[in-house]
Amino acid sequence: MKKILVIEDNQEVRENIAEILMLTGYEVIQAKNGREGVSSVIKERPDLVLCDVMMPELDGFGVLRVMNNHPELMDIPFIFLTAKSEKEDFRKGMGLGADDYIAKPFDHTELIDAVEMRLRKSDRIRSSFDRTEAGLRRFYSEAKAIEELSALSEERELRKYQSKDIIYEEGQHARWLFFIISGKVKCYKINDFGKELIMNIYSEGDFFGYHTLVREEVYIDNAMALEDTQVRLIPKDDFTMLLYNNRDFSAQFIKMLANEAQETEETLLSMAYSSVRKKVANALVKYAEKNPADDSEETPLIHASREDLASLAGTAKETLIRTLSDFKTEGIIEVTTAGIRILNMAKLENMPD
């Protein structure tokens, strides 16, 4: 049962809306002002919010601003209810990212139609991004939502890279958002002494290159194909207009940035404070996440050079080789001509510092 939050200071109007929604089959939560509404949306995580504009303590615009500051709330559909119909209010509400705007008084059918349409759209967007190229097309088509963007996003270049091909280099100007259809890509930095440090590894279904687009600066790292890779190139203008004009699209990327920031922080902390064994174990686990076992395999097989593993672990190649030898002796991994097979993932994941 879908859960809807109604934020309305007029008790009679609020209870009337709640009754209509409950009779239609929705679970309804009521809030009598904006502050109470913010608390309810954080606590209850409704599937949709109906919110009056003019309210005491915190108006509807304030409620939406608070939601926009919480990535976990940004993808909740938001519909304004207002007794005013001035164009300035409509522009302000939609500019903040509202999904719809209903002017009071409205009839029951208008209310239910607006709610059902927004819930259906939200369900499609949440289910469409399934980390495949078909999923990208569905997500992208649904998320663009702005008619003027259709001409920009119809044709997106497919580019193929062989292993060790450079995709972009530090100092170059960003023109694209990249989406991996197949293969793997490493993003890395090189210090003044020529030592390489891998910041992240991306595989099928991943976006990369968006940090530079958001900052509107030159690349501060390098990207290289780790194997034969196919990448879809999405124009910079298309991406930035979606990011700044569509709540659904921006919410997806804020979540992506937050997840990646957390992973990067954990990686840097490991490099700074963990033992060599822990660093190498973490690198193997991270690489295995990008190389899941095939249906015919019981354990992951890692296809990676010793140089790349050492770069990802933040250690010297010779140190990595000695540690891999120890792991092999302990029965944690198996080293073959095909690659490194993990025999005991749990032991790697729980390697002591």
| Strand 176-182, strand 229-235: pairing | antiparallel
Report the mean per-residue pLDDT for the chain: 81
pLDDT at 204: 86
- Interval 88-123: pLDDT, tens: 555 566 666 677 888 888 888 889 988 998 888 777
The CA distances from residue 263 to 176, 192, 203, 286, in Å, are 23, 25, 15, 10
The partner residues of 202 in beta bridges, in order of sequence, read 185
For residues 45 and 335, give the distance between their C-alpha atoms in angstroms, rounded to a whole number. 48
Kindly report which listed range (290-294, 341-345, 347-351) carries the lowest average pLDDT score.
Answer: 290-294
- Interval 69-97: pLDDT, tens: 777 787 788 998 887 655 555 556 666 66
For residues 304 and 226, give the distance between their C-alpha atoms in angstroms, rounded to a whole number. 8
pLDDT at 273: 73
The upper half-sphere exposure of residue 210, i.e. CA atoms within 13 Å in the direction of its Cβ, equals: 24
For residues 176 and 162, give the distance between their C-alpha atoms in angstroms, rounded to a whole number. 19
Q: Which domains does the chain have, with CATH numbers?
A: 3-128 (3.40.50.2300), 133-262 (2.60.120.10), 274-349 (1.10.10.10)
Q: How confident is the model at residue 249 (pLDDT cuts 50, 70, 90)?
A: low
Asked if pLDDT for residue 228 goes beyond 90, the answer is yes
Asked whether the beta carbons of 17 and 112 are under 8 A apart, the reply is no
Phi/psi-derived region of residue 143, left when phi > 0, alpha when psi is between -120 and 50, beta in every other case: alpha
Q: How confident is the model at residue 151 (pLDDT cuts 50, 70, 90)?
A: very low
